[in-house]
Amino acid sequence: MGSAGNLHLLYTCPFCWKVRGLLEHLDLEHERIQVNPMKAKKTLPSAPEWTKVPVWVDSEENIFVDSTPIMKHIDEVHNDGKLWASDDEERRDKWMEWVDLHMSKATIPILYGSLFSALKTTTRVSKLEKFGFISKRLYAWAGFPIMWGIIARSRVKKDGRKPKQLWHDLLDEFTDSFNGKQFFGGEAPDLVDLAAFGYVRSISPYPQFSQLEDHKSGMEWYRAIEATLKV
Ligand SMILES: N[C@@H](CCC(=O)N[C@@H](CS)C(=O)NCC(=O)O)C(=O)O
């Protein structure tokens, strides 16, 4: 079997981790194209209409954007839509929306919510992303006060909870929705599980991940999905 397509991504982007997890779960051969964060707006195949990552380009050069629609498309074309199929579509749609709304907003507070964690994160991001020589250094040192001072602080303040508490509450709420099963999807993960897994996994390259590892049922679920991936 040939390559299913190309995934244009930023290594540290949580939305990209969602699609990566699905590709690995389905064991689909694909290319990963890591874009330069400073040049993404110009170099993405979807530009100038869509300048965000991830962007998926299939083997026939068709372009797909936006992580959840990309996941649904890949599942439909390569997996007969089995991960999105559900006998309770209302529950599925409600929770997919919940995951995209709440988990997406919780990654910045935990990674950049204190000055020290912001410094650790930007240093790590500058190593993981494909920056140019100058922008790598600039981002590592100028990025953290911006991420912490402007973006993360207002989000943490608005929510009122410590970032770790926020994640523990989200994982409680999400795993409670399983109705005693191992996954949201029941006996096996579905697309909602894989979307949530992507957000959680996007924190895994950072030391702050240990704050999530304290969450027992959340980690049991996370490790069980991880075990399904063909990396
Ligand atoms: N709804 C989009 C959000 C994607 C997104 O915001 N990606 C960020 C990187 S984590 C980005 O490319 N931002 C650049 C921009 O907003 O111009 C998705 O789920 O794919």
- Cα separation, 172 vs 18, in Å, equals 20
CATH 3.40.190.10 fits 89-226, yes or no: no
- Cα separation, 124 vs 112, in Å, equals 12
Q: Enter the DSSP assignment of 161.
A: S
- Percent of the chain at pLDDT above 90? 84
pLDDT, tens digit, 9 for 90 and up, residues 188-229: 999 999 999 999 999 999 999 999 999 999 999 999 999 999
Nearest to 192 by CA among 217, 219, 225, 167: 225
Ligand 1 neighbours by CB, cut-off 6 Å: 10, 13, 15, 51-54, 66-67
Nearest to 44 by CA among 72, 16, 77: 16
Ligand 1 centroid–CA 147 distance in Å is 16
Ligand 1 centroid–CA 85 distance in Å is 26
Supply the Cα-derived Rg of the chain in whole angstroms.
18
The residue ranges of every structural domain in the chain are 5-79, 89-226
Band (pLDDT 50/70/90 cuts) for residue 165 is very high
CATH topology of domain 5-79: Glutaredoxin (3.40.30)
Residue of the CA atom closest to atom 6 of ligand 1: 52
Band (pLDDT 50/70/90 cuts) for residue 1 is low
**Mean pLDDT in residue range 69-90:** 98
Question: What pLDDT was estimated at residue 21?
Answer: 98
The two tokens of residue 102 are 């709440």
Record the pTM: 0.95
Residue of the CA atom closest to atom 1 of ligand 1: 66
- Cα separation, 62 vs 6, in Å, equals 10
Q: Enter the DSSP assignment of 6.
A: E
Residue of the CA atom closest to atom 10 of ligand 1: 13
